[in-house]
Structure 1
Amino acid sequence: MKIISSFVTTLSLLLAYALLLAVATFIEKQYGSVTARELIYNNYGFYLLQLLMAVNFIAVATKLLRQKSKKIGMLIFHFAFIVILIGAWVTATFSTEGVIHLREGETTSTMLIVKPGMQPGMDQSQTFALPFQITLNDFKLLRYPGSQSPSAYESHVLISGAEGKRTETVSMNKVVQEAGYRLYQSSFDKDEQGTVLTVNHDVAGSTITYTGYFILLVGILWVLLGRSSRFAMLNRQLKALTGNRLKTPTGNRLKTGAGMLLILLAVNSAPAHSQTNTPPLVTVNEAHARQCGKLLVQCASGRIEPMDTYATKLLRKLYRDDTYNGLSGTQVILGIVANPEQWQHEPVIRIGNEEIHTLLGDATKGKYLSFGALFDDEGHYKLATPLQTLYEKPARQRTKLEKDLLKLDERVNIFYALQQGEMLNILPLKDDPNHKWYTPGEDLSAFSGRDSLFASKIFSWYMQELVEAEHTGNYAPAQEVVDMLHTYQRAQAHQSLINEGRIEAELWYNRLNLFAHASKAYLMVGVALLLLLIFSTLYPDHRRWKWFGRVFICLPVLVFAVHTAGIGLRWYISGQAPWSNAYESMIYVAWAAALGGLLFIRRSPLTLSLATILAGVILFVTNLNSMDPEITPLVPVLQSYWLMIHVAVITASYGFFGISFLIGILTIGTLAVNKSTSLMKQKLQELRIINEMCITIGLCLLTAGTFIGAIWANESWGRYWGWDPKETWALITMIVYALVLHVRLIPRFNTMLTFSILSVYALSAVLMTYFGVNYYLAGLHSYGSTEAPVAVHLLIGLYLLITLVVARVVYRNRRLPQ
């Protein structure tokens, strides 16, 4: 009993569990999910490990209760996991799950049983009788306007049960219940004449599991708000150590942060992307381009957006930047369309890999090519032969050079389509059932009467006036045509597609570029505040430091307000929570990091400065044009209020973990370069407390967000947990940071240095969860099949460099104060 109730046993079991989960994700990557389930997740040894963890917790809890411990919140928090595990066992043992495949007009009262590890829709031999009949009246696949992107799946069914008949609509994120069974929209037939519904019967298991989730919520609130919790104790200790932080104490202050400051200054002062200095011979007037940017375009996803947004997006795809030689996206795109002969000699196409010059037979080097340079004197496409060979090669066998070649070919096709007038969907067809908008270069026979004449002539007329205006400088005639097209769009388009308020807000959003400005402001304010703290320690008696300190502590609040306004503006424009893709979630992580620093604004200006710098670095990397800031419609499975809650909570935890990472580095650096003084020990103790508080907040948010995601999964497709790599690594991250918090229970490891080292290296689990799964492992939560952006490689590389430096510092100073 003594061994099973030991904290060493607890940490050992947690570590073994985390390692086993990590191995499972790589097995799944290499051999598939079925193999991973057979070897790990559905293995009796895995169940036994979970049972040992539950027994260990009960033994530890009993031991604490005997000692009359007041850690009620901690006990409630951990007890919730026992209840959740019991609920999972009940679900796995007694629940019934299957699928129903129906064609339109078909009726059934049975379902096919789904075995663990098998996917819905697979051939099964075992059937199960249902206490009701279900008939598929109609299946509808709704799409976003003018595109093939699905917006919703709907199965209109007739259910005949003990209480009579009723019609229901089963759709993604809308569950229908009958006689204790839950029906979920799972899939559909390719011809859109049939549906696949997942059926789940788990009354007992879901009741127990939801009870566990409620207990977990109570435990989290108790841990963070309870007066007797360790978090409250840490807060009291911090308050006693800091007092009124706005008063500058005298004496020898903490002389640290120089190493981190140099690194961040190096990042901030990195040279910007160099661009060609040779401007186009003739360009569109900036004022006119701004007016033309107000025209509306329907993009491939069906979203209606201003020309300003769409043109910038196209330029980013071509050139990987928002501007070209100081020209806006609208100026460049209009130039390509109006003057194709001129622009085909401009190096506006990024090649992505300089080895492609060899394939082109080009002795020059550089990251950019002109459209004309890709064709020989006879007009033959230089990449035709290598591309033909490449398309015959399996995708998995393609090298990085070959993938870059495909991306270059895509950019070439975009440029060519622009020349042909085939990329600008600016002509709405009135009363079109699919709300499709047409380009001037495609077949316009669907238009009739005056609309046909207008649609076929207006764009060529505009191009003529635009070319004339480029030479004469008189844009009035061209502007008249733009106004006519603007009026036509508003009159012909379906009113549900156009929201003038959102369009105007998007134009302001593009013009203000709030996140880029917030990045620079965060870095400047954060570095300035850090310098101020350093100088105030060197010259503590100088009266001006107090005044400067108050000013600079207020500045991060102002920048944070701008950052928040940018998120709110993007939310209003898109009509959805702005953290549904990689770019948006990075923006949100930076916001959470800044918020974490503001929470300690009175207690620790140093933490505020570190958090501010961290937010600036994240925004800086996010805005390197390697992450696509495009606003895209949500796929059906993400159209749920659970998305907003789940992603917001779980992603916010990363900001607090990032602050912990920086505090850990600062603490290690301070221990390595400073002499031991009473004041230094006090400052380090402050950092140690703030570090633990940040990890505690982050772990509570991560835990809550993870299990909110489980509720979302159960409410949307009938399962709490599917051992998807993202889910698994979120659990691993929880375990890793739980280990960091609990390692202090072992006296040998209860040192400031050990805690700081662990807080630095624990961030690797966050990076793996956030980036590794999204871009390097297959899974339902991946952002897509695209390769990781340059920003991701930069962040991971920077992290590895910092951790190597930390390891070197610790090794060279093996006798650091503990």
Structure 2
Amino acid sequence: MKLTTFLIGLVLGAVLLVMPISQWQPDGLDSLRSLTVQLDGRKKPLDTVAQETVAKIHGSTSYKLADGTKEDALSTYLAMWFNTRNWNEEPFVLVSYRPLKEAAGLDIERKQFTFQELMANRELAGIVSEAHRKELNDVDLSRNEREALTIEGRLNLLYQSVGDRQLPIVPHPDDIKGKWGSLDETAKLYTPEQAAPLLAAFAMMQQTLLQGGATHIPMVADLASQLKAGLQQLSPEIYPADAVMGREVHFNHFHPFAKAWQLYAIAFTVLLVSQWIKRWNVYWTAIGLFTAGIAVQSYGFFLRMQIADRPPVTNMYESVVWCGFGIMAIALLLEVFSQKRFYLLAAAPLSVVCLVLADSLPAVLDPSIAPLVPVLRDNFWLSIHVPTITLSYASFALALGVGHVALFNYLFTPQAKQRIKTLSQLNYRVLQVGVLLLTAGIILGGIWAHFSWGRFWGWDPKETWALIALLCYLAPLHGRLVGWLGDFGIHVASIVSFNAVLMAWYGVNFVLGTGLHSYGFGTGGSELLIASVVGLDLLVVLATAARHYGWFKRSEPLTTAENLEQSMSQL
């Protein structure tokens, strides 16, 4: 019976993966999407260039026109590449950081602005100028200044992309690692006779788009096929195989991480049904769906590693996705051994949140694949240190989830003593796993730092906050061991201590933005939102503690005189 319901879950997961059917139907644009571009230190398909460019400038891979039409990244990028619109007046550039908008006198309710109004903004220009001056003098930048430099980067990228005649799509004649050229440089790399058909195809593509816009993209695709075939014939041994570029296009459009969180969400719903309606024996169906979700996420990691030729754990986006995977994998492993049904209930919402954030915030969590900075090029240490640290974060996030499940029981079913006791035991085990992983990760990071930077420990902000997080979890574990903390205390500690992980993970990268771990830094995060969520969570903890300890109840019954006085006051 268990095997049957488990297989049903797997089959349901497979059915959900192939939906919608339209994603498997060819649209004739494969040649256009897989046109190879040598950019940012690697060879990538035009589809990836389009998605990365539009997401970095606009904050989303789709763009809504003034008439309400919604364009995908490729259509928008082609409009930039062939300069078929007035991009000076398109509200396309993302400015999301509210304090910067206030300082620059921009409308705080808007998120996208035109190139023209941002370039003409003197206050923003002054902030950018001050940021560059500080960079020259090696002075730490304020958050406003870092965000302003991000806006400058978006404006520069838009300027370079519109009517770009320097996009390197022409392969080097004989060096696989050689620099590719633009169409305008074709005659320098090859003969004029070889260059002429390519230039003609490109000119016809531009003319077709100018005449019909997005409605003529299928015609442009036919011309792109001719252009691609001509580029392949120039240097067949240097031009990447269709399968290599096609794999990346498949990764872009299959959206394995989005499909994974959808499967986790459905499995979580099925698991809740199995908890509330006992006669519906769908517990193992939920396990099958969770397994399918982990399988598709693993497939996504496999594709990304093939594309990048490295472990997918080198930036904030990848660490968030990996953490979401770790939460679910650890929970499923512990669930299979314990079959207590609490690990997955605690893990699924957190894993879904991680993957939804990674899937919906490309301007904050940049999903683009870029070459490694020099300090990360030792794949051995990269492959063991960063995943270990991130898996420790996943363990602590799982403990956070179990802690919240326990608080829910303290608030609404305090009479379920045995369930609360079980939850404290489960939480203690997860905390032990997290401490073991974080300790190992810190030691491995120290060894890597010794080889890379010449010292084991340097009180870098990332190192310091990792140590603080470790101490924040060691204290309650020891307190539990010697009897200072009971069941309620271990749950509260698992929730409150996660704020140290949040600081080590998010705070150092997005708030402090200083230190030797600069390759993980980012902009666009919202401290106010994070602080609000943390504050609300702590209020829930406080309210639960007040109920559990009876802080607002009188410890002794009222005397007769007190009862009489209270009655008189009510009258």
Same topology, TM > 0.5: yes
Residues 412, 423 of structure 1: alpha-carbon distance in 2 compared, 3 angstrom cutoff:
farther
Q: Which residue of 1 aligns with 2:422?
A: 686
Deviations 1:431-458 (A, max 9, x none): 4696222334679756543345456544
Deviations 1:98-151 (A, max 9, x none): xxxxxxxxxxxxxxxxxxxxxxxxxxxxxxxxxxxxxxxxxxxxxxxxxxxxxx
Deviations 1:315-360 (A, max 9, x none): 1122100111332111111123335335554432223357888999
Residues 398, 441 of structure 1: alpha-carbon distance in 2 compared, 3 angstrom cutoff:
farther
Deviations 1:767-802 (A, max 9, x none): 122222233152222335543534x76556423421
Q: Which residue of 1 aligns with 2:171?
A: 428
Q: Which residue of 1 aligns with 2:12?
A: none
Q: Which amino acid aligns with 1:628?
A: D
Q: Which residue of 2 aligns with 1:23?
A: none
> Aligned partners of 1:291 and 1:657: how far apart in 2?
45
Q: Percent identity of the aligned residues? A: 28
> Aligned partners of 1:473 and 1:423: how far apart in 2?
24
Q: Which residue of 1 aligns with 2:266?
A: 524
> Aligned partners of 2:151 and 2:417: how far apart in 1?
57
Q: Which amino acid aligns with 2:410?
A: L
Q: Which amino acid aligns with 1:634?
A: L
Q: Which residue of 1 aligns with 2:459?
A: 723
Q: Which structure carries more strand by proportion? A: 1
Q: Which structure carries more helix by proportion? A: 2
Q: Which residue of 1 aligns with 2:470?
A: 734
Q: Which residue of 2 aligns with 1:649?
A: 388
Shift of 1:805: 1.9
Residues 349, 731 of structure 1: alpha-carbon distance in 2 compared, 3 angstrom cutoff:
closer
**Please, which of 177, 182, 186 is the counterpart of residue 439 of structure 1?**
182
Q: Which amino acid aligns with 1:732?
A: I
**Please, which of 490, 500, 505 is the counterpart of residue 765 of structure 1?**
500
Deviations 1:604-637 (A, max 9, x none): 2122122122111111122222210001111222
Residues 346, 777 of structure 1: alpha-carbon distance in 2 compared, 3 angstrom cutoff:
closer
SS at match of 1:558: helix
- Contact preservation (8 Å) 2:513, 2:522: no
Deviations 1:72-106 (A, max 9, x none): xxxxxxxxxxxxxxxxxxxxxxxxxxxxxxxxxxx
**Please, which of 496, 503, 507 is the counterpart of residue 245 of structure 2?**
503
Q: Which residue of 1 aligns with 2:110?
A: 366
Q: Which residue of 2 aligns with 1:295?
A: 35
- Contact preservation (8 Å) 1:353, 1:404: yes
**Please, which of 633, 638, 661 is the counterpart of residue 371 of structure 2?**
633
Q: Which amino acid aligns with 1:559?
A: G
> Aligned partners of 2:486 and 2:108: how far apart in 1?
58
- Contact preservation (8 Å) 1:360, 1:374: no
Deviations 1:727-779 (A, max 9, x none): 233233222222221102333x2411111111111112211222222331522
Deviations 1:291-329 (A, max 9, x none): 411111122x22111111110111112210011133211
> Aligned partners of 1:501 and 1:514: how far apart in 2?
19
> Aligned partners of 1:732 and 1:445: how far apart in 2?
58
Residues 370, 696 of structure 1: alpha-carbon distance in 2 compared, 3 angstrom cutoff:
same
> Aligned partners of 2:493 and 2:102: how far apart in 1?
47
> Aligned partners of 1:558 and 1:671: how far apart in 2?
33
- Residues 1:462 and 2:208 aligned together: no
Q: Which residue of 1 aligns with 2:125?
A: 387
SS at match of 2:505: helix
- Contact preservation (8 Å) 1:430, 1:494: no
- Contact preservation (8 Å) 2:257, 2:297: yes
- Residues 1:341 and 2:54 aligned together: no
**Please, which of 315, 323, 343 is the counterpart of residue 581 of structure 1?**
315
Deviations 1:640-698 (A, max 9, x none): 2111011122211111111111111222332233243xxx2221121111111111111
1:538-687 pair list within 5 angstroms: 540=278, 543=279, 545-546=280-281, 548-602=282-336, 603-625=339-361, 626-640=364-378, 641-676=380-415, 680-687=416-423
Q: Which residue of 2 aligns with 1:696?
A: 432
- Residues 1:417 and 2:160 aligned together: yes
> Aligned partners of 1:364 and 1:806: how far apart in 2?
33
- Contact preservation (8 Å) 2:264, 2:348: yes
TM-score normalized with structure 2 length: 0.80
- Contact preservation (8 Å) 1:304, 1:497: no
Shift of 1:600: 2.8
Residues 658, 405 of structure 1: alpha-carbon distance in 2 compared, 3 angstrom cutoff:
closer
Residues 403, 599 of structure 1: alpha-carbon distance in 2 compared, 3 angstrom cutoff:
closer
TM-score normalized with structure 1 length: 0.57
1:105-504 pair list within 5 angstroms: 287=27, 289-299=29-39, 301-325=40-64, 326-341=70-85, 344-352=88-96, 366-371=110-115, 374=117, 382-383=120-121, 387=125, 390-391=128-129, 394-395=133-134, 404-422=147-165, 424-431=167-174, 435-440=178-183, 445=188, 448-454=191-197, 456-468=199-211, 470=213, 473=216, 475-476=218-219, 478-492=220-234, 495=237, 498=240, 500-504=242-246
> Aligned partners of 1:357 and 1:693: how far apart in 2?
46
Shift of 1:550: 2.7
Shift of 1:598: 0.4
SS at match of 1:505: helix
Residues 423, 405 of structure 1: alpha-carbon distance in 2 compared, 3 angstrom cutoff:
farther
**Bigger-Rg structure (1/2):** 1
C-alpha RMSD of the superposition: 3.5
SS at match of 2:37: strand
Shift of 1:490: 3.0
Residues 718, 305 of structure 1: alpha-carbon distance in 2 compared, 3 angstrom cutoff:
same
> Aligned partners of 1:366 and 1:717: how far apart in 2?
44
What is the number of residues matched between the two proteins?
Answer: 513
Q: Which amino acid aligns with 1:505?
A: R
- Contact preservation (8 Å) 2:169, 2:182: yes
> Aligned partners of 2:102 and 2:469: how far apart in 1?
45
What residue ranges of structure 1 are gaps of 5+ in the alignment? 1-243, 248-285, 376-380
> Aligned partners of 2:78 and 2:377: how far apart in 1?
35
Residues 562, 331 of structure 1: alpha-carbon distance in 2 compared, 3 angstrom cutoff:
same
> Aligned partners of 2:214 and 2:253: how far apart in 1?
27
SS at match of 1:524: helix
- Residues 1:512 and 2:254 aligned together: yes
Shift of 1:425: 2.4
Q: Which residue of 1 aligns with 2:563?
A: none
What residue ranges of structure 2 are gaps of 5+ in the alignment? 6-25, 65-69, 552-571
